[in-house]
Amino acid sequence: MRSNGLWPSIDHGVMVRGMPTAGGPTVKRLSQPDADIKPKALGLPRGRTVISVFGSTEDIETDLAAKLLPVLRSVVVTAARNGAVFVTEGTDRGVVHLLGMALQACEQRWPVVIGVAPSSKVHDLTESATNGQIPLEPNHSVAVIVPGSEWTDATPVLFRTIDAVRHKKPVVALVVGGESEQEVVDHLSGDNPLLVLAGTGGLADRIATGDLTGDLAVLVRSGKIFIVHVDEGAGKAVTALERLLGKEKPVKPPRILPKVRYRAPEARPLVDPGFVVAYPMLADAIHDANQVVAPVFQELDAEAGVEQNRYRLTAVLAIGGGLTTTVFAALQTWLKDTPWPGVLVVAGGAFAAAITIVARKRESLDKYLTARSRAERLRALYFAHLASVAPATEEERQDKVADLEAAVSNRKHEVVRT
């Protein structure tokens, strides 16, 4: 894109915290394509949320670039604020070039940006281009260079790099224009969310309009897809991204324990994402069930986990209180002329009695059984919906979804006898 003379040059001498060196990104070369990706050895962070960027590699028209740049600037700032890491193809062209310009908007905290590219297709800023090689984008933090002669040689390493950096954190893909479907298919196959900037042409617009076939069509219809049109501006894109990057909120701990946090386990899909690819005829039913049934099931499942742990804690405290009373009673027998063990016996006995009364009330146990029963009935409803006869028309499908919503509401609020 710089060849058209429309973009300002980059001053590599200005150093900001987190920025790459004046010579461009730090280059890390793999000895072989299937080499292990070890974040520490490559100078990469670990355990970070990842934003992978899939976009157009061709020059972007000036009008579209003028709309995209403010959006990408806001995305970069949001990523920096959330400690997210970008992973791209690393070349100074197309959308990645625009991302590099957007990085310059980060005046304080600069997000880590990793590029993954094949060795024969790129050159760093200290080398001369040969045989049409493309320069690495200079604002990246790290460039992982993979032995290979084709662009596709770097794709497996890109996803392995993402897995190494994310560890157990979320990964979000940002699609801006684009041509290749395989990267998006691989991303969605892992049940990962997709943020699509419509109005940018290419693959992004095809996803937005549903003009898809094969595995990608199935995965898009059943996956977590957020579509924002570039004309809606940076605010809408940031809202969607923050929703996808939302941090897990700790569940409130039992009141009898001070400052103890219980974190609900990460919500898992009721069916494996690969199930959709194996049975594409169920794609609509799975999509509807994921939208209507799954969120309520996961809410009740988490509630049941909280109440179960609360009941367990009261039981453990009651046992601990009884044990403490016994120990100090034995100590009092041994130290006949010392009064303080007796005081502790009385205090421990009172504490054990109070905890026992709380445990006998069974409130936490009843709440757990109620939430668990409702959650399991919703699980049964989910699979019953998948097993039911597929609707013949879209109108029938909407009626079926309405019936499903009513059934979910009934099961969520039904009275359960424990």
Tell me what pLDDT residue 328 has. Answer: 61
- Cβ atoms of 227 and 194 within 8 Å: the answer is no
Q: Of 130-139, 307-316, 337-346, which range is least confident?
A: 337-346
User: Once rounded to an integer, what is the mean pLDDT over residues 368-373?
Assistant: 84
Let me know how many helices (H) and strands (E) the chain has, helices first.
Answer: 14, 10
DSSP state letter for 223: S
Q: Of 212-221, 264-273, 304-313, which range is least confident?
A: 264-273
| Dihedrals phi, psi of 52, to nearest 5 degrees | -90, 140
3 against 41, higher pLDDT: 41
Query: From CA 78, how far away is CA 84, in angstroms rounded?
Result: 8
What pLDDT digit, counting tens, does each position of 152-194 carry? 889 999 999 999 998 888 899 999 998 888 899 999 988 899 9
Q: Kindly state the tokens that stand for 62.
A: 């000036």
Mean pLDDT of the chain: 79
Q: What share of the chain is helix, strand, coil (3-state, %, to 5)?
A: 55, 10, 35
Give the confidence band of 349 by pLDDT, cuts at 50, 70, 90: low
Which residues, 6+ apart, have CB-to-CB distance to 392 below 8 Å? none
Q: Where are the alpha helices (DSSP H) in 10-125?
A: 39-42, 62-81, 94-103
Q: Is the pLDDT of residue 16 over 50?
A: no
Q: Where are the alpha helices (DSSP H) in 233-293?
A: 234-244, 274-278, 283-292
Percent of the chain at pLDDT > 70 equals 72
- Cβ atoms of 214 and 206 within 8 Å: the answer is no
Tokens 């957020």, located at residue = 226
Q: Kindly state the tokens that stand for 182.
A: 């395989």
> Is the overall model pTM greater than 0.95, yes or no?
no
What pLDDT digit, counting tens, does each position of 237-261 carry? 888 888 887 654 444 555 554 444 5
Tell me what pLDDT residue 7 has. Answer: 33
- Cβ atoms of 57 and 174 within 8 Å: the answer is no
Choose from 124-138, 170-184, 236-250, 319-333 the range with maximum mean pLDDT.
Answer: 170-184
Tell me what pLDDT residue 176 has. Answer: 93
Q: Map out the domains of the chain with their CATH numbers.
A: 26-245 (3.40.50.450), 273-413 (1.10.287)
What pLDDT digit, counting tens, does each position of 68-121 carry? 999 999 899 888 888 889 999 989 899 999 999 888 776 666 788 999 999 888
DSSP state letter for 329: H
Query: From CA 139, how far away is CA 19, in angstroms rounded?
Result: 7
